A and B are shown apart, each in its own frame.
Chain A
Amino acid sequence: MNATQFLLNFADKIEQKEIVNQSTAIKIRSYIRKLEDSTPIELFLIISGIMGALFCAAGIFSIIGHNWDEYSKTVRGVLSILPAVIALYFYYRAIFHHPKSRPWIEASSVFLMLMIGASIALVSQTYQLDGDFKQFIKVWAVLTIPLFYFARASGITILYLGLISALVVDVSFGWFGIPNIGEDENSMWYWYLLLGFLPHYYISLKKKNRSQSVRVIYMSYVVYLSLLLAMLVTVKGNYFLWIATTSAAFYLLGKRFMGENTSIFGRPFQLFGQLWIATLLISLSNKDWMNFIFRNDSFIQMFKPEGPNSLYRELDSELNTERIFYFVIVQLLMVGLYIVYFLLKKHFKDVSKLVLFTPLFLFVMMILHEFLLPEWMVVFLVNAYIILLGLNAFIVGSENRNVPQMIYGFLLISILLWLRYFDTDWNFLVKGGVFIGVGAIFFLINLTQKGKLERIHRNKTRRDDN
């Protein structure tokens, strides 16, 4: 028995026992029925529809694989449009006869997308076209774009972005089958084709309130992973600034559009953005690691290629030009991010400034590390920043009753404590003093927050009803 049925029975029961009168019971029942959420069953129908479309499409691909070469080329050439025509028929039925039915639209879109590919595959099989695979993907992807706008289908997002991601990543197999991942020569096409998809995503994202449906969350995961992959292979150099800047940008975007989703997994941009930023900062919090990273990844190394132990040492001018190009882009991104934030401040709620300004912080740290401050000061600043980040998450999480955020803050600080306890080679007495000092701060925080718990306990035992 589901919850709605249970509540309806309960309403019947309290009516029978005359706790409420008949008219109130009718009101209660209609209210309960109105509350019932259709999302889970609709989602079930959409997913089973898509599954049906996927299996049918796979079956059709397999039948094509048989290769019906006992018929003449002309017959087979004409028949090759058959899969597309059949799928177009279903799609036509969906968007003109069932325009309100999401399961119909999603399933027929998936089917049509795959059948467009099937038709092209069939004609190339007939005419022995081994063809250029990337060319095939481009045609296929361009033909898929209208499906996002005719009926706002979203299920095909993963297929589409997966398809165009193949344009940006070039996987080749070297000796012993070790895969070698690099940038494909068609990578610009990825960005063009992504531009074809983004308006659909943006229209879905843009709403009055800041909570999002399963559909948008699913698309956000796919968009994030696809973009991450594309950036990993296209960007050359300055990885720390790139990751920090894009993470902060995604974090801001998430705050703007999905700030009110209750679960952290319903806010993918915040989840990934904060995880990346915590990872970056932790990896910079040790002196040796920081020296290693800044020696290899700081933008300053770009301008002094003869650095003692630098990956930039090889004076490959073409590579260095690319690095400078991507450095300029990341700087523009960073400036754009802060301009957007300050101009449209009222649209962003509860933004953690610490997360948002991490890229700027890293940028300043790179300069300080190279020119102005001794190493230990920079390391100290980074560690202080992490403590602040953790404390902030901890306190804000407690205020908003957000347990995952509190755990995140707690974990961040404990990881830091654990690392620093083992890798700092200070005098034991000094180290002990500092650690006890930090511990004392936590107890102080505890004291100031104790009142809240006591108030809640008092409220619980208050008796208003007599």
Chain B
Amino acid sequence: MTIKKGFFFAFAAIIILIPVYVAMSSQNVLDNGKLYKFKPMAYDPLDPFRGKFLRVNYETDFVLTKFDFDEGETAYVSIGVDKEGFAFFKEAHKSPPATEDYLTTKIRRSRLARSLEDQIAAMEEGGFDPSKMDTRGEVSIDIPNNMNKYFINEDDALKAEKVFVTEREHIYIGVRILGGEARLEDIYVHDQPIKEYLHK
């Protein structure tokens, strides 16, 4: 009986530790990760299945890469910040970049870069220096894990969806990134967390 109790408490400890572990690792990313502001691309109506949530989409096409990727292959995407301070998926790598923040995802579609096609056309017309050519290809990627659902209180969900339409230009998504892990911190409307904005 005592052995069985020992096993039971070990089992119980594992069951409890798993949510605790997930919570702590998430909290770690939120506390220590660098904050990036992403512009949302579009949004879907909400889905009442696992509690209500807002689905957030990002610009995931036209990610540059030096490598040949197959569809479905794992890629490490570095994060860049543009002049206005918004983040974007900069470049897809085959191994995690050492110096930059990155996220792990899968390749959705791999194709020749449009800019590359333009450059080839320019080369055929002449007057183009091949040594300066940008030979990087372009890929489309899946949205990395843990970035595209924002679970929200059922009473706020409808209001939040309307805000998504009316305040589209003034919304960005705060994502904390640490060691290849992303956590969606909050959705900001006029630099306020969406929850505060709705209850103002």
Contact = CB atoms under 8 A, between A and B. Distances in A.
A and B interact physically: yes
A139 B18 contact: yes
B61 interface: no
- Taking residues whose C-beta sits less than 8 angstroms from the other chain, chain A's interface range is 35 or more
A74 B31 CA distance: 12
Contacts of A121: 50
A73 B22 CA distance: 12
Interface in A16-64: 64
A65 B146 contact: no
Contacts of B152: 67, 69
B195 interface: yes
A446 interface: no
A69 B194 CA distance: 12
Contacts of B18: 119-120, 139, 143
Given A64-B51, A65-B51, A69-B152, A130 B147 contact: yes
Contact of A120 (B22, B51, B195): B22
A128 B12 CA distance: 25
A70 interface: yes
B145 interface: yes
Contacts of A119: 15-16, 18-19
Interface stretch (A80-88, A307-315, A429-437): A80-88
Interface string B47-63: 01011110000000000
Contacts of B4: 95, 150
A122 B1 CA distance: 33
A84 B148 contact: no
A172 to B, nearest CB: 13
A96 B145 contact: no
Contacts of A146: 7, 11
Contacts of B23: 77-78, 80, 123, 126-127
Contact of B16 (A65, A84, A92, A126): A84
A66 B154 CA distance: 5
B153 A67 contact: yes
A92 B8 contact: yes
Contact of A69 (B5, B148, B153, B184): B153
Contacts of B1: 96
B19 A65 contact: no
B197 interface: no
A129 interface: yes
A81 B27 CA distance: 16
B146 A74 contact: no
B14 interface: yes
Contact of B183 (A78, A122, A127): A127
Interface in A291-307: none
Contacts of B11: 146, 150
B43 interface: no
A85 B16 contact: yes
Contacts of A80: 19, 23
Contacts of B7: 146, 150
Contact of B19 (A66, A68, A96, A123): A123
B22 A124 contact: yes
B67 interface: no
Contacts of B148: 130
A125 B51 contact: yes
Given A65-B52, A69-B195, A150-B7, A81 B153 contact: no
Given A65-B154, A139-B18, A131 B27 contact: no
Interface string A431-448: 000000000000000000
Interface in B1-37: 1, 4-5, 7-8, 11-12, 14-16, 18-20, 22-24, 26-27, 30
Given A70-B153, A123-B22, 5 more contacts: A65-B48, A80-B23, A92-B8, A127-B22, A150-B4
Interface of A: 64-70, 73-74, 77-78, 80-81, 84-85, 88, 92, 95-96, 116, 119-132, 139, 143, 146, 150
16 contacts: A64-B51, A65-B51, A65-B52, A66-B51, A69-B156, A70-B153, A92-B12, A119-B15, A120-B18, A120-B22, A123-B23, A127-B23, A129-B26, A130-B53, A130-B145, A146-B11
